[in-house]
Structure 1
Amino acid sequence: MSISIPRVTEKKRWLIISHAFNMDGRAASLTITDKIPYFLNAGIEPIVLSAITGVKDHRFPHYQYLAWGPAAFRFDFRHWVANKYGRGFIYKLFTRIVSILLAPLIGLEKLALGYSSQWSWAVPAFINGLRIIRAGKIDLIYSTGGAWSAHLAGLWLKRVTGLPLIVEVHDPLVIRKDPNDQGFEKPKNRDARFRHYLENQLTHFSDKVWWFTDGALHYAKVRNANLNTPKNAHGFVVTPGAQPPGSLSNNRAHQYTDKLNLCHFGSLANDRSLSTILRALIPLFQKYPEARDLIRVHAYGAPLDSLSVDAIEKFGFSDVLLAHGRLEIDPLTGKSGRQRVAEKMQEADVLILLHGNDEWCAEYIPSKFYDYLWTGRPIWGITHRNPQLDQMLLDRGAYLSAEGDSEGIAMGLERIWLDWQAKQLIEPIWKPIGVDQAVSTILTHMQVR
């Protein structure tokens, strides 16, 4: 369905501040880069400030800057070398030398400040953003992240220049500990304490600010009363959606093979671990011994977490869980990492969506979910305290389990196994969420025509 996007006729020159921009396959990058074509069609004239970690965009002015702190410099340098030379010998040599040289400075930086590594990128973003603004080339500042350094730079520019500031918060800045924690208590961790302060400043000084889930907006409003009034910042929700990954635009018919392939894409951690799936395989294999040779779990996009590694060793599942790592651009075919990921998604029998088990799941929806919706494959969501995500899954047809409910997860896996054997896996309802609706929501809230 085509979404109507308002046309921008005033305040068209936007300074977009995004640490991650044009980074192949990175969620923090795709969230903004996927919007760019729609912004251009709406009449917006962007100037982008980013780190050197992505590919330079030549459709509009795009300035890339190194961070000034040693930890962020090391991070950015690694990605720059990978983009330029690949991840072979040169990458390993250069990055190892730089890591050794910077190690003492990184230690001092952590000891003195204790902030996350990307904080220092705010400094060159602010200095160069101010230069561009004073040249009279900007009507509005738009910070998006991802790395909170983009928001810090945007806030500084707002305070100095008085230009309108709109803010896109990808993940909650304040991380609550449990359902009773509203996020009022000042954290002891210095980075968390600064993010707490930054959220308060953004809600007071930005002209528009939005989050990606109902839960994130709810708790931000609890902490920041001004979001409940028409004055100052106005908070709302934008569902980010996704462009069809790898140019997918329709639902391709699924082909059953001789294996049940359960595929996970994206990052893994001990609070979002494939060990959850491996443990559920134990009772299934006991009940259906033949399943041991027919089920395969595939992990794409990230190293395995330590709990998954331990489970593989404990259960002898080295042939069951196959870790493929990150899919980068293929120099032989020219396919981007995103295109290769899309192909692997459509080859899956079932896509695994691990939500996690932390309290912040109530405010977070994995960005990979929106890519999954374009593939036409059934999703097995293992979710935690997020009614919005549960409803989105159920509305489209999905297998749904609750994180921490080992019996329910085992039952969900058994249902998938039986459906696959009968060649009757759930046929999901084709309801992908595009980026056009996100852009329309943003521009409508800004009341531009």
Structure 2
Amino acid sequence: MKVEIPNAIEKKRWLILSHAFNMDGRAASLTITDKIPYFLESGIQPIVFSAITGSKDERFPHQQFLAWGPAAFRFDFRHWVANKYGRGSLYKALTRTVSILLAPLIAIEKLLLGYSSQWSWSLPAFIRGYFLIRSGKVDVIYSTGSAWSAHLAGVWLKRATGLPLISEVHDPLVIRKNPTDQGFERPKNRDARFRHYLESQLCKYSDYVWWFTGGALHYAKVRNPNLNTANNAVGFVVMPGANPPGEVREVSQHQYGEHLNLCHFGSLANDRSLSIILRAATELFKKYPEARKCLRVHAYGAPLDSLTVESIQNNGYSDVLIAHGRLERDSVTGMSGRERVAQKMREADVLILLHGNDEWCAEYIPSKFYDYLWSGRPIWGITHRNPQLDQMLLDRKSYLSADGYEEEIAMALERIWLDWKQKRLLQPILQPIGVDQAVHSILSHITQSRLIS
């Protein structure tokens, strides 16, 4: 549907800086690419700068740049080869050769700077953007994460040209350590120290800047009291939402099979680990031995974390937890990786949403949550200190546990098991959050500001 906004947009030509763009299934890409149709319908004429890691968009000018630093070049080159030739023997030979050749330069880059690998993409983005702006082809600069190189290029372009800058911060740039830490302490890690500085620059030079949760905006305001004051950035919250991949389907009657299939999609780490599910499974099997033959935990989209691997080995759970890896485009059916993921979500009995256990969870909602809402399947959220996420899960009739409370997690798994046996798993309330509301919020803010003549 067309996004209605209060006033017509007069400054239509937007330079969108996004390191990840048109990368199949990548959250950082979907957050911006899903907005594009609504921007186009609203009269915006996008010009996109991105890395070479995604496919080129033919609907509008889209320029792709290699990063200039060796670490980012290696990262981008790997994705480019995978997209062009697949991940077979040629991929392994080329990427291994490039890694060996670049290793000394990467070591020097890390020693001298210590920044995350994608930082150097800001250099070509700034230079090409500067000349494009000077030629009179851009009205507004729009930087979007998650790689902070896009925001750095955006700040540079704002300061060099004076054009309006709007910034979309995906993940908090400043990572707090505990509930009492407000993020004022100067980090020891050089990349974290630079991100701390970059947040202050966005709050100073952006015309508008938004975060994805109320918690993230709150702590950004605490650290940057100039936010929402005269002549500084206006900060607000936008829920990114997600568009359904392909056609929107009606939720059909769920088919129960011989296995209780719990499915997790997305990245894993030791602080966001499926090992907590396996520990709960151990307790379930003690109480209900027959569950051992029925429970299956499926992991899609990422390698298993070390804690999960250790739990599988120690408990002999290689048949309980099945790692499927990343779902890529299927050359036989023509389905994209994103469409294949959506299909697997709809087939699940219950979708696992792991939030993590770090303090930054108070400022973060997993992007996969918005995709889950389109599936029509019940969600089991294991969350950490985020009332906003908890309420959204409860509003949609989900299973909910708190990370770190193992007895509570075990009880939730037992409830899921009993519900499944009786074929009465929770019927979720279908309230997906689309991208149209995000675009409406963004455009409603900026059409009432100094960005529009």
Instruction: Give the TM-score, by structure 2 length.
Output: 0.98
Q: How does 1:10-159 map to 2 (within 5 A)?
A: 10-159=10-159
Distance in 1, Cα, partners of 2:415 & 2:292:
16
Q: How does 1:269-348 map to 2 (within 5 A)?
A: 269-348=269-348
Residue 203 in structure 1 maps to residue 203 in structure 2? yes
Amino acid at match of 2:310: D
Amino acid at match of 2:128: N
| Cα deviation, residue 134, structure 1 | 1.0
Determine helix, strand or coil for the equivalent of 2:196: helix
Query: Structure 1, residues 182-240: CA drift from partner, whole Å, max 9, x if none?
Result: 00011010000000000001100100000000100000000000114254100000000
Tell me whether 250-259 or 48-57 shows the greater mean CA deviation. 250-259
Amino acid at match of 1:353: L
Q: How many correspondences in the alignment?
A: 449
Distance in 2, Cα, partners of 1:249 & 1:8:
33
| Cα deviation, residue 429, structure 1 | 0.3
Amino acid at match of 1:27: A
Determine helix, strand or coil for the equivalent of 1:380: strand
The answer to whether the 8 Å contact 2:51/2:66 transfers is: yes
| Cα deviation, residue 2, structure 1 | 8.2
Residue 168 in structure 1 maps to residue 175 in structure 2? no
Distance in 2, Cα, partners of 1:262 & 1:90:
35
Partner of 1:369: 369
Distance in 1, Cα, partners of 2:161 & 2:440:
27
Q: How does 1:356-395 map to 2 (within 5 A)?
A: 356-395=356-395
Distance in 1, Cα, partners of 2:86 & 2:117:
23
Partner of 2:214: 214
Query: Structure 1, residues 291-333: CA drift from partner, whole Å, max 9, x if none?
Result: 0000100000000000000000011100000000000001111
Partner of 1:435: 435
Distance in 1, Cα, partners of 2:8 & 2:19:
25
Q: How does 1:225-240 map to 2 (within 5 A)?
A: 225-240=225-240
Distance in 2, Cα, partners of 1:3 & 1:116:
36
The answer to whether the 8 Å contact 2:261/2:295 transfers is: yes
Determine helix, strand or coil for the equivalent of 1:245: coil
The answer to whether the 8 Å contact 1:260/1:294 transfers is: yes
Give the % identical residues.
76
The answer to whether the 8 Å contact 1:7/1:43 transfers is: no
Distance in 1, Cα, partners of 2:297 & 2:99:
34
Distance in 2, Cα, partners of 1:5 & 1:325:
41
Partner of 1:190: 190
| Cα deviation, residue 252, structure 1 | 3.1
Distance in 2, Cα, partners of 1:45 & 1:250:
34
Partner of 2:267: 267
The answer to whether the 8 Å contact 1:213/1:238 transfers is: yes
| Cα deviation, residue 6, structure 1 | 4.9
Distance in 1, Cα, partners of 2:249 & 2:10:
33
Distance in 2, Cα, partners of 1:230 & 1:397:
42
Partner of 2:407: 407
Query: Structure 1, residues 416-436: CA drift from partner, whole Å, max 9, x if none?
Result: 000000100000001000000
The answer to whether the 8 Å contact 2:2/2:41 transfers is: no
- Go from structure 1 to structure 2 and tell me whether the alpha carbon gap of 1:187 and 1:29 turns closer, same or farther (over 3 Å shift): same
Amino acid at match of 1:274: L
Distance in 2, Cα, partners of 1:168 & 1:51:
18
The answer to whether the 8 Å contact 1:8/1:44 transfers is: no
The answer to whether the 8 Å contact 1:245/1:339 transfers is: yes
The answer to whether the 8 Å contact 1:19/1:51 transfers is: yes
Distance in 1, Cα, partners of 2:368 & 2:346:
14
Instruction: Give the TM-score, by structure 1 length.
Output: 0.98
Query: Structure 1, residues 6-41: CA drift from partner, whole Å, max 9, x if none?
Result: 564311000000000000000000000000000000
- Go from structure 1 to structure 2 and tell me whether the alpha carbon gap of 1:7 and 1:320 turns closer, same or farther (over 3 Å shift): farther
Partner of 2:417: 417
Amino acid at match of 2:148: W
Q: After TM superposition, where is structure 1 displaced by more than 6 Å over at least 4 residues in a row?
A: none
Distance in 1, Cα, partners of 2:208 & 2:149:
18
Calculate the aligned-residue CA RMSD, in Å.
1.2
The answer to whether the 8 Å contact 1:5/1:439 transfers is: no
Amino acid at match of 1:343: Q
Partner of 1:397: 397
